[in-house]
């Protein structure tokens, strides 16, 4: 099985596919002018802007297979329909799928990095907060 970082989550009105693969993460790094971990930490410290949240959601919808123009329309409509806290929870679901879910086969044994990751995740209210949307992870079969 191959790790895809793809999740399907209800976003205001219907189920949508979100994915932040390496290409999408690089696009966000360019847009935010900092590395992925830096902008994730900024979000974790609640030092983000609505335009940044919007950019992450649009980029993840495009990564999930949606046309860019349609992704912008969906995000604009859905961000208005949901309280901001739900958009923040959705952001964390997408980011967790992108950077915290290890590729299959690479997590056979625990090492210090795994333990540090678990500590970071459990210490962060954003990562441990229960999210209302349900998540369906999809994994593709590898050859």
Res. 24 pLDDT band, cuts 50 70 90: very high
59-78 average pLDDT score? 95
pLDDT at 114 over 90: no
Beta-carbon contacts of residue 3 (< 8 Å; ≥ 6 apart): 101, 102, 103, 104, 139
- Determine the Cα–Cα distance for residues 102 and 61; give it in Å rounded to an integer: 21
> 3-class DSSP state for residue 19?
strand
Q: Could you report the per-residue pLDDT of 35-60, keeping only the tens digit for each?
A: 999 999 999 999 989 999 999 999 99
What's the pLDDT at 68? 96
Quick one: pLDDT at residue 121?
Answer: 44
Question: pTM score, two decimals?
Answer: 0.70
Return mean pLDDT, the chain: 77
Compute the average pLDDT of residues 66-71: 96
Mind giving me the DSSP string for 65-112?
T--HHHHHHHHHHHHHHS-HHHHHHHHHHHHIIIIISPPTTS-SS--H
């Amino acid at each position: 099985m191959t790790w895809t970082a793809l999740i399907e989550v209800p976003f205001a009105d219907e189920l949508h596919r979100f994915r932040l693969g390496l290409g999408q993460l690089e696009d966000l790094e360019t847009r935010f002018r900092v590395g992925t971990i830096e902008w994730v930490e900024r979000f974790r410290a609640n030092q983000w802007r609505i335009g940044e949240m919007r950019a992450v959601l649009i980029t993840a919808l495009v990564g999930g297979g949606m046309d860019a123009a349609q992704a912008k329309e969906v995000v604009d409509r859905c961000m208005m329909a949901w309280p901001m806290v739900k958009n923040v929870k959705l952001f964390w679901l997408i980011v967790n799928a992108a950077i915290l879910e290890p590729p299959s086969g690479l997590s056979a044994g625990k090492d210090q990095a795994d333990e540090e990751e678990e500590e970071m995740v459990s210490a962060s209210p954003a990562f441990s907060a229960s999210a209302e949307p349900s998540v369906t992870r999809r994994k593709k079969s590898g050859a």
